[in-house]
Amino acid sequence: MAPETGAEVVLRLDGITKRFGPLVANDAISVTLRKGEVIALLGENGAGKTTLMNILFGHYTADAGTVEVFGQPLPPGHPRAALAAGVGMVHQHFTLADNLTVLENILLGTRPLLAPRLDAREARARVARLSRDFGLAVHPDARVGALSVGERQRVEILKALYRDARILILDEPTAVLTPQETSALFETLRKAVAQGLSVIFISHKLGEVIEISSRVLVLRHGRLVGEVATADTDRHRLAEMMVGAEIAAPRLSERAPGPAFLTLTGVDTPRRGNAPGLKGVTLALRAGQITGLAGVSGNGQAALAALIGGLETPAKGSMELHGARPADWSPRAALTGGIARIPEDRHRTGSVADFTLTENAVLESYAGPPYSRRGWMNWRAADDFARRIIETYDVRCPGPAARIRLLSGGNMQKLILGRALEAGPRIILANQPVRGLDIGAVTFVQNRLIAARDAGAAVLLISEDLDEVMALSDVIHVIYEGRLSPAFPRGTMTPAGLGGWMAGHGFEREHTRGGADAA
């Protein structure tokens, strides 16, 4: 997919600037897109990728700059105008109504609102044709609420194609997909490009950008810092452009595993709402070892984290902590048993937004000395503790008395990490510890986890990012519909191999239907 330099320019963004208060989200960004090419917009969280595309699509109005589609200026601030001009956008958070069927979602907004009837016959045939041509299998009468994430994304793409989109914008489309679904998506994109569509692919995943795009535009802090032909670059150089500095990959030294601190044997937990429970899970977390848990989100990761964090008890099977079955299992018991938790959602369960850094620092330990005695808080000790974390973990903040709400995600996570690690835990439950962090913070958190492992802690790393799991884990399990794969030692599995397990291949046959679809 070489860039066709001679091809017609279909889209031209010129000098786009957008401010949110004091923050310059886009600083005079110019982009051209030609017919039949895939360009990638690469950048960290907050680099301004999504803002730029939302301006193009009319969700936001730019403070300065112009948008031209097929040589015509696009009036700002109107998604309808963008749609009419042939721009289709697949948002990171899908814009589908769960209570409607696939066909209804596709039809939404395509007819005059006051049309007397909704004639779906012709639309149905067209959707079927598009599904076939672009490899987007999905049942037109299925309720969107019942579809898997991969299927929903197909509906979003169908929606754009149904409206004759000639320019397709995909915002972080692979964040929620299995490797198999991602390759199916790329297949679809290649078909689209072959038919003369142009694609803007927004991502922060380097491998995917290199695989699918012909040109890469790198954004950093709202500025376009580089534009290169994909053929002339590599992962390493792209990563450095993205971060603006040299980066070192985390290194795992050889280390013999120690005794098992926590073992699960044949554990079942009940289903909670839409989240599956565990089914016959057997797992050992060993001293000096990082156990990686890969899997598509919603396959039982939450149940396992709840179990180890003390929020859930086994309905069946047994759990042993430091060689003994815990008498009663609760978050308090988990803490006193030496389990430190880095929760999946740092905003909701990891911190209290309107509490200060000090208060958040002692959130798990305030009930006893040194932070309280006989029911009275010792704020001086708590403040000292917060200060220690701020210093050792490089938390950038106004001070321990600041509310944690004001901190960036990375700094908030460093405080939570410090709170967990300073207690000297023997078991660390790290659930999506680097999700949404920029590369600097990612490296910091990962290196701290590795240091804890080297010091003899047992780490459970739950992540949806397969690259992260493979880079950091001594052994890897895949979780699928509450079931656990065998343990794969470091270096014995390929991404494709693990991807197969993530899609349910390899698990006992009767348990592999439904849920995540293996396209």
Partner 1 sequence: MEILDILLTASFWAAAVRIASPLIFATLGELICERAGVLNLGIEGIMVIGAFTGWMTVYLGFGLWTGVLVAMLAGMLFGLLHATLTVPFGLSQHVVGLGVTLLATATAAFAYRLSLPEVTSPPKIVPFQPLPVPGLSELPLVGPAFFAQTPLTYLAFALVVVVSVVLYRTPLGLALRAAGENPASVEAQGLSVTAIRMGAVIVGSGLMAIGGAFLTMSAFSSFFFEMVNGRGWICIALVVFGAWRPGKAALGALLFAAFDALQVRLQQTPMGAVVPYQVFLMVPYILSILALVLMSRRAEVPAALMVPFNKGER
Residues that bind partner 1 (CB under 8 A): 20, 54, 57-61, 78-84, 89, 91, 93, 95-100, 104-105, 107-118
The CA-atom distances, in angstroms, between 327 and each of 50, 303, 343 are: 50, 20, 24
Which one, 152 or 483, has the nearer CB to partner 1? 152
Determine contact, residues 391/377, Cβ cutoff 8 Å: no
Instruction: Write down the least CB distance from residue 93 to partner 1, Å.
Output: 7
Determine contact, residues 493/478, Cβ cutoff 8 Å: no
Which one, 159 or 341, has the nearer CB to partner 1? 159
Amino acid letter at 422? E
Which one, 120 or 363, has the nearer CB to partner 1? 120
The structure tokens listed for 508 are 């006992």
Instruction: Write down the least CB distance from residue 246 to partner 1, Å.
Output: 31
* Residue 307, burial from CB neighbour count under 10 angstroms (0-12, 13-18, 19+): buried
Which one, 99 or 195, has the nearer CB to partner 1? 99
Would you report the helix, strand and coil content of the chain in percent, each value rounded to 5? Answer: 35, 25, 40
Cα separation of 84 and 99, whole Å?
26
- Residue 338 in 3-state DSSP? coil
Report the residue count for the chain: 519
Instruction: Write down the least CB distance from residue 156 to partner 1, Å.
Output: 9
Cα separation of 377 and 393, whole Å?
24
Determine contact, residues 288/260, Cβ cutoff 8 Å: no
Instruction: Write down the least CB distance from residue 79 to partner 1, Å.
Output: 4
Instruction: Write down the least CB distance from residue 162 to partner 1, Å.
Output: 11
Instruction: Write down the least CB distance from residue 86 to partner 1, Å.
Output: 13
User: What does DSSP assign to residue 517?
Assistant: -
* DSSP-derived pairing of the beta strands 72-73 and 458-462: unpaired
Which one, 29 or 319, has the nearer CB to partner 1? 29
The structure tokens listed for 381 are 């000790």
Which one, 70 or 162, has the nearer CB to partner 1? 162
Instruction: Write down the least CB distance from residue 55 to partner 1, Å.
Output: 10
Which one, 144 or 427, has the nearer CB to partner 1? 144
